[in-house]
Amino acid sequence: MELPEIERIGFGVIADKDEHSPIFTHSDRFLIADLIRRKEVIWHEPRPNPYAKICREKYPKPSVTGDNPSDEELEIHRQIAEILKDCIYVRGRDFGSYSADALKAAGSDAMMVSSDEPQEWLNSLIKYRAYAGYFD
């Protein structure tokens, strides 16, 4: 199996902090980071979430399978996934079914997290890179 040279990872975070928002679509911004062969972060960028306010006001809970989300809500999930489509992984606390599905359709894997904040997780990827098969 060939390991990726660069992995781009996205995180939903609260404004002015690098902490996960309790609900992914409520994130004020997305923190994007590139790791090169899991040795170091070589690039990072914040991207605004233009849908955070409407999601907090109109969609306070994540939709789950069986809900009947509005066309507007489904489009918001699709647009958020479009913002993050260049990320291999997207991490957050609570995506809800429709956000996770939209991310998958855009080519990203949604990864639920319960404790590690973005920088802690990036540090662990570097520290334990051998577990992922990187030995150079």
Q: 11: which strand partners?
A: 31, 91
What's the pTM? 0.91
Q: What is the spatial distance between Cα 76 and Cα 11, in angstroms, rounded to a whole number?
A: 17
Element (H, E) at 56: helix 52-58
| Angle, CA of 115, 116 and 119, to the nearest 5° | 155
Provide mean pLDDT across the span 87-116. 93
pLDDT score recorded for residue 29: 96
Residue 16 pLDDT more than 80? Answer: no
Q: What is the spatial distance between Cα 59 and Cα 31, in angstroms, rounded to a whole number?
A: 22
Q: What is the spatial distance between Cα 63 and Cα 68, in angstroms, rounded to a whole number?
A: 8
At residue 113, φ and ψ (nearest 5 deg) are -130, 145
Domain boundaries along the sequence of the chain: 6-131
What's 2's DSSP letter?
P
Contact (Cβ atoms closer than 8 angstroms) between residue 51 and residue 80 = yes
Please tell us whether the domain made up of 6-131 is placed in CATH 3.30.420.130: yes
Interval 62-101: pLDDT, tens: 888 888 899 999 999 999 999 999 999 999 999 999 999 9
